[in-house]
A and B are shown apart, each in its own frame.
Chain A
Amino acid sequence: GENVEQHPSTLSVQEGDSAVIKCTYSDSASNYFPWYKQELGKRPQLIIDIRSNVGEKKDQRIAVTLNKTAKHFSLHITETQPEDSAVYFCAARSYNQGGKLIFGQGTELSVKP
């Protein structure tokens, strides 16, 4: 089945710097890749997603890139702010497996003012 690896597990940046989180997946049939942000004590919130027919997607300070050949995708946050501090999860969906989402291990991002 699908396996998603996420790195790094923790990331600390200065306010205003960029942050990059990377994920790899194993199932070449996966075609949908969302990213979630989870603040302490709250539910995971979808922040951006990308389908396999697109190489890059941007939404204000957040962008996601996808390399299908290498089976990896990345989340880029520019001009980080303290409120970006949270745990971020990547995920992959393969319709070979009934459309379920498989999540990476998570990255705890800390943005220092």
Chain B
Amino acid sequence: SAVISQKPSRDICQRGTSLTIQCQVDSQVTMMFWYRQQPGQSLTLIATANQGSEATYESGFVIDKFPISRPNLTFSTLTVSNMSPEDSSIYLCSVVGGGEKLFFGSGTQLSVL
């Protein structure tokens, strides 16, 4: 399976600010996704990070709030913009490897005060 490094691992931010989360994979991957996991909840897909084109967002998520970059096949960033306490969650990048298996990064635990 791919080694997925995500940083920061955690952060505490003030409302109204923005945080950029980085995801680095040790091999080239075609499909990369960003998920959110609110406290005690399941995994909700935010968007598919497309290399060389705009990300594909799921219902309820918009580019202005969660801009995503994917400059190459090993790296992506997710920005959480103009944060509010409701954005406090774990954010996980994930990649498809080994056929169709989905693997997760270690996650970024975000707390917004």
Contact = CB atoms under 8 A, between A and B. Distances in A.
Contacts of A98: 48, 56
A34 B97 CA distance: 13
Contacts of B43: 44, 89, 103
Interface of A: 32, 34, 43-46, 49, 89, 91, 93, 98-106
Nearest to B102: A101
Please provide the 5 A-B residue pairs with the shortest distance between their CB atoms, ordered closest to farther: A43-B104, A103-B43, A103-B42, A105-B42, A106-B42
Nearest to A46: B101
A34 B105 contact: no
Contacts of B56: 98
A101 B92 CA distance: 13
13 contacts: A43-B104, A43-B105, A43-B106, A45-B104, A46-B102, A89-B43, A99-B31, A101-B33, A101-B45, A103-B43, A103-B44, A106-B41, A106-B42
A106 B92 CA distance: 16
Given A43-B105, A46-B102, A49-B101, A99 B42 contact: no
A99 B96 contact: yes
